């Protein structure tokens, strides 16, 4: 029986995967077993590979099966399917599966590798070891060919002071007041940073949470400022932590230090693929839309520096507002079909 990407998509959106991906992974494994090579599950990832008869590139199709809460039931109105995961990322998943099943590589290898926890820890992607030469990562891009994305780091600046009675402020060191100097120093950090990236623009450094003090009549001895960093190449998370601490030591008039938030997996760092890569050129020739950056962080960063493109049906937001992660999440069925055609044509060009 031929694979019906639209029927699979609706079944996938009906299958909740915001708390556990078990049911969704069982559906995925059964679908691949019915239409392609025998799949395996490794570190939570679902994988299957097709082999050509001679040497050639190893192309990997990747997306994820987890979704953000809450579950939103599926609803179809003409060409549009609403529901949690409709575009992020079960629409891209349906398109990639259709292209995978339709492709019969004459050379190289074609792997589909689906991760279980992109929306949370990315433990599956961090454990994924497929050694690909080209990657197509399924996300809602409106069929545009996205060749770059900023990274996302987070961490906390801890400001140190010493307690005293608020009636005698000069005998203490006010950590909350010290935040003024720290915030001022943050505004100058990128004057000597990585600079403007040709595709991604400039990095951003944004203080998002501040906490300090425990009593109205006491000089506070501690204050913390949580930061959101959107990075551009070649900045790494470790390099950012080191550079920010050096900057604070030089420019902040208070005792403080910055540390990245502890994670089980590496931070999602920035990536950029050259527009003249054969992967980018073939996707554009196959009918992909504009070549542009993707505006959200993705697991694509784990696959760089191999040529990597983020691509798929659906959008993160439209003229009305948020789509992905919103209660009105939707995707157009015709875009799922068009996305699968574009990916299949690209695969044929790379693997025939």
Catalytic residues: 66, 118
Close Cβ partners of 164 (under 8 Å, ≥ 6 residues apart): 171, 172, 218, 219
Query: d(Cα 343, Cα 211) in Å, to the nearest integer?
Result: 48
Q: Which residue has the tokens 């004459």?
A: 106
- Please name the helix (run of DSSP H) or strand (run of DSSP E) that holds residue 93, with its range, or none: helix 90-102
Contact predicate 305/68, CB 8 Å: no
Close Cβ partners of 324 (under 8 Å, ≥ 6 residues apart): 87, 88, 140, 314, 315, 316, 317
- Helix intervals (H) in the chain: 5-14, 22-35, 90-102, 123-127, 175-186, 237-251, 278-285, 333-351
Give which of 305, 331, 262 is closest to 76, Cα–Cα.
331
Burial class (CB in 10 A: 0-12, 13-18, 19+), 153: buried
Query: d(Cα 17, Cα 10) in Å, to the nearest integer?
Result: 14
């Amino acid at each position: 029986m031929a694979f019906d990407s639209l029927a699979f998509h609706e079944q996938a959106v009906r299958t909740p995967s915001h708390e556990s991906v078990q049911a969704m992974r069982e559906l995925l494994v059964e679908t691949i077993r019915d239409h392609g090579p025998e799949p395996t599950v490794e570190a939570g990832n679902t994988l299957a590979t097709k082999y050509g008869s001679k040497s050639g590139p190893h192309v990997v199709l990747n997306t994820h099966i987890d979704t953000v809460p809450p579950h939103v039931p599926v609803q179809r109105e003409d060409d549009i399917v609403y529901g949690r995961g409709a575009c992020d990322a079960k629409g891209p998943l349906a398109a990639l599966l259709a292209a995978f099943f339709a492709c019969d590589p004459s050379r190289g290898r074609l792997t589909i590798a689906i991760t279980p926890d992109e929306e949370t820890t990315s433990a599956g992607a961090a454990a994924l070891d497929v050694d690909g030469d080209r990657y197509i990562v399924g996300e809602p891009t409106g069929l545009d060919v996205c060749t770059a994305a900023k990274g996302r780091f987070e961490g906390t600046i801890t400001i140190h002071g010493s307690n005293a009675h608020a009636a005698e402020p000069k005998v203490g060191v006010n950590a909350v007041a010290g935040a003024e100097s720290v915030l001022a120093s943050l505004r100058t950090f990128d004057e000597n940073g990585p600079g403007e990236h040709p595709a991604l623009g400039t990095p951003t450094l944004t203080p998002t949470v501040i906490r300090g003090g425990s009593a109205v009549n006491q000089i506070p001895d501690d204050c913390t400022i949580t930061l959101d960093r959107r990075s551009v190449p070649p900045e790494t998370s470790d390099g950012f932590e080191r550079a920010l601490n050096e900057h604070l030591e030089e420019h902040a008039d208070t005792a403080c230090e910055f540390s990245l938030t502890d994670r089980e997996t590496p931070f999602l760092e920035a990536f950029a693929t050259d527009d003249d890569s054969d992967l980018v050129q073939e996707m554009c020739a196959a009918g992909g839309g504009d070549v542009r950056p993707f505006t959200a962080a993705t697991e694509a960063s784990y696959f760089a520096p191999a040529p990597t493109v983020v691509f798929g049906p659906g959008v993160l937001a439209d003229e009305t507002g948020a789509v992905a992660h919103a209660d009105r999440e939707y995707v157009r069925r015709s875009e799922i079909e068009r996305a699968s055609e574009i990916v299949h044509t690209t695969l044929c060009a790379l693997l025939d």
